[in-house]
Amino acid sequence: DIQMTQSPSSVSASVGDRVTITCRASQGINNWLAWYQQKPGKAPKLLIYVASSLQSGVPSRFSGSGSGTDFTLTISSLQPEDFATYYCQQANSFPLTFGQGTRLEIK
Amino acid sequence: EVQLLESGGGLVQPGGSLRLSCAASGFTFVGYAMSWVRQAPGKGLEWVSGIRSSDGSTHYADSVKGRFTISRDNSENTLYLQMNSLRAEDTAVYYCAKETISGSWYGMDVWGQGTTVTVSS
């Protein structure tokens, strides 16, 4: 199975900050990576797929990059509604696997 | 409106069975791969199982292989998860989710509200 490791596990930031979250795969997954945002008590929301494609309706302050084993999710200017937990997920091979999550908190 | 609505969760004793259902509406169900994803209390997301429509191929997490069975009824626009030999560690909110692009696995863009499964004596 492909293990997905996110860093950091949690991060504190302020509105307006630029934040980067990293996801590393235990083996190469080409660009078969998705990013999700989840708020407490809610279902996850797809932000990015195939590493850098922005899902329809997602604000352009969210961007994704990377290929192979190393990927990043960047939020260019944090907004109050962005404080949530973020997950990466590989779609290269089965079983599909998620990272452990990164909690983004208000500083 | 594109929507997924899960049902069938509840309290079950260890070793018992449950069948979850996910009713889809607002999109061409037959064209999309579908998954079940679960989240144990206070924990992260765990992909459980997926099924592709074009060839009916199914896939499972190692933790549920041999105990859970995913299926779909394209005529009823419904996804199922038959869960047997349930264990305490299967306790979670179970979500059904739709792939964002027709035909394959890219990322899940539509999620249900979740249904809670509790395995306890």
pLDDT digits (tens, 9 = 90+) for B9-22: 999 999 999 999 99
Kindly report whether the peptide bond that precedes residue A95 is cis, defined as omega within 30 degrees of 0.
yes
Chain B positions with Cβ closer than 8 Å to A? 35, 37, 44-47, 50, 59-62, 95, 100-101, 105-109, 111-114
Distance CA B112, CA B4 (A): 5
Task: Decide if B44 and A50 are in contact by the 8 Å CB cutoff.
Answer: no
A70 has pLDDT over 90: yes
Nearest residue of B to residue A44, measured between CA atoms: B111
Distance CA B91, CA A91 (A): 25
C-alpha B33 chain-centroid distance: 11
Residue A50 phi/psi, 5-degree rounding, is 40, 50
Distance CA A87, CA A5 (A): 10
pLDDT digits (tens, 9 = 90+) for B71-121: 999 999 999 999 999 999 999 999 999 999 988 889 999 999 999 999 999
pLDDT digits (tens, 9 = 90+) for A20-43: 999 999 999 999 999 999 999 999
Q: Please compute the mean of the pLDDT values over residues B48-62 and round it to a whole number.
A: 94
Q: Please compute the mean of the pLDDT values over residues B51-61 and round it to a whole number.
A: 92
Q: Find the CB nearest A43 among B46, B107, B111.
A: B111
Task: Decide if B62 and A95 are in contact by the 8 Å CB cutoff.
Answer: yes
Q: Find the CB nearest A95 among B47, B108, B112.
A: B47
Task: Decide if A46 and B113 are in contact by the 8 Å CB cutoff.
Answer: no
Nearest to A50 by CA among A37, A61, A65: A65
What's the confidence (pLDDT) of residue B90? 98
Task: Decide if A101 and B44 are in contact by the 8 Å CB cutoff.
Answer: yes
Q: Please compute the mean of the pLDDT values over residues B60-66 and round it to a whole number.
A: 98
What's the confidence (pLDDT) of residue B55? 86
